């Protein structure tokens, strides 16, 4: 739902000015906004599961699951309801409040819709929030998922519109925006963010935040991923993202989308504790928790528990 205090007419110049503030000034502004609208000592915990792995026809240059790159991942057909619910129960036991299921599809095919509906219903019955990320969706499919009880749909814009064709050539930015609109119109909460480290420049990152912040209704959830460099993909040798640049983007996301949950997503495994702590100070308030993301390694549960204990941060 639209929050009436939301500002949807940010200009790129406004974002640039904030992004280029002295680090402490930027973090202080972000942190004050964070405290105003969120509990600064709580994070929301989501657990991810890949319910259909690999063999994707899209050519996203970062992805282990594209059929075009030899990344050595094991292909898996759509998992059974039982396999999925077993993991969902485990996730709940470990403290997750949301279970996110991902499939390596270009778009959802109606022949798979029934299986996904059953998974969503099963996850909801366990008392977890449900999220799926299945590629492009039609408005009818979005409505069917809403009727099944789906809470969130993840569909990332990844980067700026200008840089998008350097990352993916098999679909357009507008395709992504169309799916996001279908999800929003079906009254499903939108989870939409991007990836840093795709070879984009600072402006591309700011433009991504600018598009997200200026959507009619800002996404309820904004995952900020740091590229996981997967061997065999065209981006496997990309330059590492500077930690301070990453923290600045988290801070800016918090400032321009004050009500959204900002998720410190893929790539946490390659960040030290201090960087993560600064991200939480700057406004990140959600993480993926569990040993695996979709196909790559996440921070270990034990490490995350220790970090949360050191920071005295609890789960929402």
Catalytic residues: 56, 60, 63, 100, 131, 191, 263
Residues 6+ apart with CB under 8 A from 181: none
If binding is defined by CB under 6 A, does position 241 make contact with ligand SAM?
no
If binding is defined by CB under 6 A, does position 61 make contact with ligand SAM?
no
The alpha-carbon radius of gyration of the chain (Å, integer) is 18
Partner from ligand SAM, ligand DTB, ligand SF4, none contacting 227, C-beta within 5 to 8 A by type: ligand SAM
Task: Using alpha carbons, select from 95, 153, 129 the residue that is nearest to residue 316.
Answer: 95
Binding segment for ligand SF4 (CB under 6 A), chosen from 56-64, 113-121, 137-145, 198-206, is 56-64
Residues 6+ apart with CB under 8 A from 2: 216, 217
If binding is defined by CB under 6 A, does position 230 make contact with ligand SAM?
yes
If binding is defined by CB under 6 A, does position 66 make contact with ligand SF4?
yes
CB-wise, 27 or 264, nearer to ligand DTB?
A: 264
Contact (CB, 8 A) for 150 and 188 = yes
CB-wise, 71 or 160, nearer to ligand SF4?
A: 71
- The two most distant CA atoms of the chain are separated, in Å, by 53
Element (H, E) at 154: strand 152-154
CB-wise, 63 or 128, nearer to ligand SAM?
A: 63
CA 155-86-63 angle, to 5 degrees, is 35
If binding is defined by CB under 6 A, does position 228 make contact with ligand SAM?
yes
69-80: burial string, b at 16+ Cβ within 10 Å, e else: bebebeeeebbe
Residues 6+ apart with CB under 8 A from 148: 116, 117, 120, 121
Tally of CB atoms within 10 A around 1: 7
If binding is defined by CB under 6 A, does position 195 make contact with ligand SAM?
yes
If binding is defined by CB under 6 A, does position 154 make contact with ligand SF4?
no
If binding is defined by CB under 6 A, does position 131 make contact with ligand SF4?
no
If binding is defined by CB under 6 A, does position 105 make contact with ligand SAM?
yes
* Residue ranges in contact with ligand SF4 by CB under 6 A: 56, 58, 60, 63, 65-66, 104, 106, 135
* Residue ranges in contact with ligand SAM by CB under 6 A: 62-63, 65, 102, 104-105, 133, 135, 155-156, 158, 195, 225, 227-228, 230, 266, 294
* Residue ranges in contact with ligand DTB by CB under 6 A: 48, 64, 102, 133, 154, 156, 193, 223, 225, 228, 265-266, 293-296
């Amino acid at each position: 739902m639209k929050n009436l205090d939301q500002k949807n007419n940010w200009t790129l110049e406004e974002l640039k000015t904030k992004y280029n503030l002295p680090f402490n000034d930027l973090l202080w502004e972000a942190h004050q906004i964070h405290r105003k609208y969120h509990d600064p000592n709580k994070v929301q915990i989501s657990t991810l599961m890949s319910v259909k792995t690999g063999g994707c026809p899209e050519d996203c240059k970062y992805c282990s699951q594209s059929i075009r790159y030899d990344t050595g991942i094991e292909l898996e057909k759509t998992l059974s309801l039982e396999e999925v619910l077993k993991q969902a129960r485990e996730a709940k036991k470990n403290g997750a409040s949301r279970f996110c299921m991902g499939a390596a599809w270009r778009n959802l095919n109606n022949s798979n819709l029934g299986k996904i509906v059953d998974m969503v219903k099963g996850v909801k019955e366990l008392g977890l929030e449900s999220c799926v990320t299945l590629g492009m969706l039609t408005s009818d499919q979005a409505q069917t998922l809403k009727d099944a009880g789906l809470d969130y749909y993840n569909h990332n814009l990844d980067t700026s519109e200008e840089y998008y064709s350097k990352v993916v050539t098999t679909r357009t930015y507008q395709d992504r925006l169309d799916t996001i609109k279908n999800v929003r119109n079906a009254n499903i909460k939108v989870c939409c963010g991007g990836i840093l480290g795709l070879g984009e420049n600072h402006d591309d990152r700011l433009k991504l935040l600018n598009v997200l912040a200026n959507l009619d209704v800002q996404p309820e959830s904004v995952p900020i991923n740091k590229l996981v460099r997967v061997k065999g993909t065209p981006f496997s040798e990309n330059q590492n993202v500077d930690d301070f640049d990453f923290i600045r983007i988290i801070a800016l996301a918090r400032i321009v989308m004050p009500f959204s949950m900002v998720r410190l997503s893929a790539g946490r495994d390659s960040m030290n504790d201090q960087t993560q702590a600064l991200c939480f100070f700057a406004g990140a308030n959600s993480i993926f928790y569990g040993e695996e993301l979709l196909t790559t390694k996440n921070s270990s549960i034990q490490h995350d528990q220790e970090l949360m204990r050191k920071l005295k941060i609890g789960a929402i």
